[in-house]
Structure 1
Amino acid sequence: MEFKTSKIFKTKKSFRQKEINIPLFANIARKLKEMSEEKLMDNDLLFTLTYMASLSTANLSRDKIFELVAEKKEYSPSKYFKQIRDLTQNWHYDYATACELIAEKVKHKRLKELLNRFSNAIASGEPDEEFIEREWRTFKTVRKDEYQRSLESLRKWTDAYVSILVSTTLISVVILLSIVIYSVSDPLSMILTAIFSSLAFSLFGVFMLYKATPKDAKTHNMPIKSKEQTTISRLQVLLLPIFLAALLVFSILPAVFNPEMEILGIDAKGIGLIISGFVLLPLGIIGYRDDKKISKRDEAFTSVIRGLGATISGAGVGMAEALSRLDKKNLGELKDLVMPLHKRLSLGLDPKISWDKFTGESGSYLISKLTPIFIDATDMGGDANLVGEIVGSSNLEMVLLRLKRDLISNGFINLVIPLHVSMVGLILFITKILEKFTSLISKMFESQLSTFGSASDIMSKTGLAGMNFGLFSAVPVGLFEMYALFVSLILILSNALSMKIVKGSANYMMYFYISILMILSGIIFIFVPIGVDWAFSFPSLAEAG
């Protein structure tokens, strides 16, 4: 009986744990998914309205438009349109009531207002085409104004981040000097406190930049990628472990266990940073090239899609023939993608697969979202010329806003990189001076000790009784090296994150920024100690030692 009771108790407990843990993880996953959808909801809402405006040129029924929008799962609002359609088809609600009911469940403010206005328009008998076109134009204006306000906020926070960066560095230096001057009993804990304080302040600045930036992706998440993105995916599997190993072996471990370690007479930590930076540099260069190409493709897409729509509508030809009639000079960066697309369509290959390959190889978020709109609307009988204008207008709006963002981000990047060099140089300069003075005072004290016999004799016979000979001597020299390296790594991480966030680039641009900052930091770690040794050389004290 005791065995059965124990077994039943454990079984109930395990079921209770499962009942608690499963909903917990499910709620966390659901929250993360909702946050991801919410981040790009405004963009998806623009694409949804563009899609509906394009479909309305085909004079489709309201039911058909809602059906097609509900099937566009790549747009976050599609799930709400699916719920509206389910209410009308399965529960026989009218569309006005269904839109109103679903609007009550929507948390996103603009989508809720859109559904409520749609409900009122349907109830009042307003034609869907007029309502959708008006909402599309209105939302573009609102989105543009909101984006520009976000850019103004971003401009102010970039200035604030620079101030935080400088203040964090100076506060860290003050803490380091305080540890030395006041002979703290536990210098290691104070050094670690200074390091974590620098990390906290830096990440706070990065977080505020993230909150201020307009939420706008630049690369898609399709299985098919651009050539550069595919190359990065393959190379990073090999290069990232090498990067981490080089950083750990040549920089972090020497800073912790052997601060004076040298390779060919050069500081090992500097060599480790340079090696790590050069390991990541190929990924960074490839990512930088891809980022530039995507920007050029987005700019060229507007003229290409408008020209394609005008050719189909004006000449009355099919998609493949219209592609062949496009002026090759106006294709720009899309030329290498449009020509293979024309060949695939001319050979009679599956149009969906052909267009998916085109959008995937473009690597562009905008092209991947807007191209299916043009294809679906023209396939459903929409006016290709009007559809091309609608899609091109939405694309041009986003491209122009990104160009304004680039003005801010380029200025910020051009400021942060030299500022990073200055801050790392300052930290290393201060730590090397403290190391130098620690060494010189120790040598001076040892020489006097050999002359007078004891510390008390030195104080009494030289009149130095009021001096604090514990100054500089309470902190091990190795802590200075560890402090300089870890604060430099924190600055590298935070500055790379800040540049990536402000620029609005893909994650692989982190490789470019980190590699540049690491190489520059490594050069500083090599040459600043040499400069300090040259500037603070005291032959008399050296001879006394």
Structure 2
Amino acid sequence: MTTQAQQARDFLDSVLDSYERMPMETSRYGLVVLLPTTVLFFASVLGALLLPLPVLVRIPIFLLGSLMLVAGLLYPRLLVEQQRRGLENQLHLVITHMTVLSTTNIDRVQVFRVLGREEEYGELAIEMRRITQLVDTWNQSLDDACRRRARQVPSKPLADFLDRLSYSLNAGQSIDDFLLGEQSAMIQKYITVYESALGNLEVMKDLYLSMILSMTFAIINAIVLPILTGTDATMTIAAVIVLFVFVQLGFYYVIRTMSPYDPLWYHQDDFRTKADRQIDITLYGAVALSFLFIVVLAVGTAGVTPVGRTIQGVMVDTPVPLLLATPLTPLAVPGIIARRHENRIKERDEEFPGFIRALGASESAKQSTTTAVLKTLRNKDFGVLTREIGRLYTRLKMRIGPTRSWFFFTAESSSYLIQKFSEMYNVGRQMGGEPKQLGELISTNMSEVIKLRRQREQSTITLIGVLYGITASASFAFFIGLEVVEILASFSTQMNLAQLEFGQLIYAGVYDIPFIEYLLTLIILFNALLSSLMIRMVDGGHKANAYLHFVVLTWIGCASAVATSSLAGALISV
């Protein structure tokens, strides 16, 4: 059997296996999902064959029906893949947290109970609860429960870990010895999974570039061909644009699925930091200002008052793309504020491993409390983290509880990694863990994650460059095609070809140029929206980052459109 045939068979087996893992019964899924998508597919085939529509409209109809059917068939596989990624995304944090807990004075089953209560771990927390349920309800030993769950989970790294843990516990090894020995292997596997995800994103980036260029070519054909064939240009362009939208939605979903889960920000509902307040205030102000711009444009479009008529006079001379981009511009402000705070969070993350290692080593050497050690450490230079360290010492000195003091420390740092690792250190210390061991363990693991984040940042920069370039080139291609049509239509009118024998070579009357210009502008807007969401998904930053990229991409597309139209107009006048 060839390699391709074996891969196809493995994929088919994985799809069939995913139907068994679904929370919904297979028969019900077939009735609720597969039957309607099959009906839609055959309806699209009949519509593509029988409806009196242009070929460029029939093809998208057939492709949309096919897309619905394929999505229905593969959705269970996507669910299993989503569950697998949920188990693997935070596996390194769970194992580190488990190691920290195992070095304290609690029972080994209690370790799994504590992890099961951490809702932030998602699917992994559910797995921890399933293991403890097998122990508590079905009276199984911990090693048997781990072995049973290893056969059920869809994640191979987690299954291998549970298998090794089960074997070690059954052999009499203590859980802390096993987990401490697993740290190096766990980190290497996490690095492999993370880099594999980044590699997949690089492949998807190249595939996305190829598909968008192909769809751009299809839209250009939809713009130009009706002037030679006489088909309805608006319907043809709208059909291809719908297909373009579905292609982008599909790529967005795939990139969202493939991106490694590694958030930068930590959002605490119980405490609003200065950064959160600044971003919220600027966001509300930006939305209000954008809404005001939209109201002004609406008044100008209606022209119901002297002010409206004045605005209307200005709008007549303003290109449509600029009218679209201008009201959206204020949304860039919260993105700029969020980006500034993100840079400070990254600097805090860089400083934290050194701080936590020094804290643990000092506590072990001096045999003193965290408060006494921080009295000295707060005078050391830990960069932008120095302020948060000083405030942590102040709260502990004021007899605020350690848990609450560390809570404010992590909230003010706004870092997801600092929050998770600080919580691990604090819990480990409260339960009697060795400070030096905890500090070195947390410092080593966080340093490896920061190295991977640097690789992710490079991938994000590359993706941003690709998306910005695609936006500019696609916008240029769309509007150069529209300008070609306008030139041919103008040529047909000036030469009065309709009175000649070959007048039907050019069908200028099938075009509604202003409406088509609106459609092309809307596709620029939609491309900017999805591209900004892709960037935000890959970089793992604040949601406000998407606003900044959305505005920049919109302006790139609209400026390219205006420049293209102006250049074409200048060439015609010459």
The normalised TM-score by structure 2 is 0.77
Q: Is the 8 A contact 1:276 1:518 kept in 2?
A: no
Structure 1 distance, partners of 2:211, 2:294, is 27
The aligned counterpart of 2:277 is: 230
Which residue of the partner structure matches residue 194 of structure 1? 240
- Whose Rg is larger? 1
Q: Structure 1's 99 and 177: CA in aligned 2 closer, same or farther, altered over 3 A?
A: same
User: Do the aligned partners of residues 65 and 504 (structure 1) sit closer, same or farther apart at CA in structure 2, a change above 3 Å counting?
Assistant: closer
Cα pair distance change 1:483/1:40, threshold 3 Å: same
Task: Name the structure 2 match of 1:147.
Answer: 194
Contact 2:83 2:154 in 1 (8 A): no
Q: 1:83 to 1:151 in 2, by over 3 A?
A: closer
Q: Which moved more, 1:307-316 or 1:267-276?
A: 267-276
Counterpart in the other structure of 1:332:
383
Distance 1:45 1:331 in 2: 29
Counterparts of 2:391 and 2:277 in 1: how far apart (Å)? 18
1:395 aligns with 446
Residues 84, 155 of structure 2: 8 Å contact kept: yes
Q: Residue 179 of structure 1 is aligned with which of 211, 226, 238?
A: 226
RMSD, aligned CA: 3.2
User: How far 1:71 moved relative to its partner?
Assistant: 3.7
1:371 to 422, 432, 443: 422
How far apart, CA to CA, are the structure 2 residues paired with 1:172 and 1:191?
A: 7
What pairs up with 1:525-540 in 2 under 5 angstroms?
525-537=561-573
> Hey, what's the Cα distance between the residues in 2 that align with 1:274 and 1:32?
36
Where does residue 158 of structure 1 map in the other structure? 205
Question: Matched residues in 2 for 1:420 and 1:154: separation?
Answer: 19
User: Secondary structure at the residue paired with 1:229?
Assistant: helix
What aligned pairs does 1:213-362 form with structure 2 within 5 A after superposition?
Answer: 213-223=259-269, 224-240=271-287, 242-243=289-290, 246=293, 250=297, 263=314, 266-326=317-377, 328=379, 330-362=381-413
Structure with the larger RCO, 1 or 2 (CA within 8 Å, 6+ apart): 1
Structure-2 residue corresponding to 1:496 = 532
Give the conservation status (yes or no) of the 8 Å contact 2:378–2:389: no
Change in CA separation of 1:319 and 1:99 when aligned onto 2, cut-off 3 Å:
same
Tell me the equivalent position of 2:433: 382
Paired residue type of 1:209: I
Q: Which residue of 2 aligns with 1:406?
A: 457
Q: Which amino acid aligns with 1:488?
A: I
Name the CA distance, whole Å, in 1 between partners of 2:447 and 2:325: 41
1:417 Cα offset (Å): 1.7
Residue in structure 2 matched with residue 434 of structure 1 by the alignment: 485
Q: 2: CA distance between counterparts of 1:311 and 1:123?
A: 37
1:484 correspondence with 2:520: yes
Moved more, 65-74 or 306-315: 65-74
**Counterpart for residue 4 of structure 1:** none
CA shift at 1:308, angstroms? Answer: 1.3
Give the direction of change, closer, same or farther, for the CA distance of 1:521–1:292 in structure 2 (3 Å limit): same
Q: Summarize deviations over 1:446-483 as a string: whole Å, max 9, x none.
A: xx9xxxxxx6xx43xxxxx1243643232122233123
Does the 8 A contact of 2:396 with 2:405 survive in 1?
A: yes
2:315–2:323: 8 Å Cα contact kept in structure 1? no
Measured in 1, the distance between the counterparts of 2:315 and 2:141 equals 80
Q: Is the 8 A contact 1:305 1:391 kept in 2?
A: yes
Task: Give yes or no for the alignment of 1:474 onto 2:510.
Answer: yes
* Deviations 1:308-332, CA, capped at 9 Å, x for gaps: 1112112222212222322655422
Which residue in 2 is equivalent to 1:136?
A: 183
Task: Give CA-to-partner distance per residue, 1:228-258, whole Å, 9 cap, x none.
Answer: 333323443453365467569859x97xxxx
- Residue 119 of structure 2 aligns to a residue whose secondary structure is coil
- 8 Å contact from structure 2 (residues 89, 260) kept in 1: no
CA distance in 2, matches of 1:38, 1:239: 39
Q: Which residue of 1 aligns with 2:162?
A: 115
Report the number of matched residues: 488
State whether residues 303 and 330 of structure 1, in contact with CA within 8 Å, keep that contact through their aligned partners in structure 2.
Answer: no
Give 1:228's aligned amino acid.
A
Q: Which segments of 5 or more consecutive residues in structure 1 lack a partner in the other structure?
A: 1-19, 25-30, 255-260, 449-454, 460-464, 539-545
The structure-2 alpha-carbon separation of the partners of 1:329 and 1:156, relative to structure 1 and needing over 3 Å to count, comes to: farther
| Cα distance in structure 2, aligned partners of 1:70 and 1:530 | 62
Taking structure 1 as reference, are residues 484 and 99 closer, same or farther at Cα in structure 2, changes over 3 Å only?
closer
- The answer for the alignment partner of 2:256 in structure 1 is 210
- Residue 543 of structure 1: aligned partner: none
The 8 Å contact of residues 284 and 511 in structure 1, kept in 2 or not, is answered as yes
Q: Percent identity?
A: 22
Q: List per-residue Cα deviations over 1:407-444 (Å, max 9, x = no partner).
A: 22212313332332232123223213322432443244
Task: Evaluate the alpha carbon distance shift between residue 212 and residue 96 of structure 1 in structure 2; reply closer, same or farther with a 3 A threshold.
Answer: closer
Give, as a single letter, the amino acid of the residue that structure 2 aligns with 1:384: P
Which of residues 31, 43, 46 in structure 1 aligns to 2:92? Answer: 46
Between the aligned partners of 2:403 and 2:559, the Cα distance in structure 1 is 51
CA-to-partner distance for each residue in 1:138-187, whole Å, 9 max, x for gaps? 22111111211222222222222222222222221112111222111x33
Q: Which runs of 5+ in 2 are unaligned?
A: 1-27, 33-76, 302-311
Structure 1 residues 498 and 244: CA distance shift in structure 2, 3 A: farther
- After superposition, the Cα gap between the structure-2 partners of 1:494 and 1:264, relative to the gap in structure 1 and judged at 3 Å, is closer
* Letter paired with 1:110: P
Q: CA–CA distance in 2 between the matches of 1:525 and 1:306?
A: 54
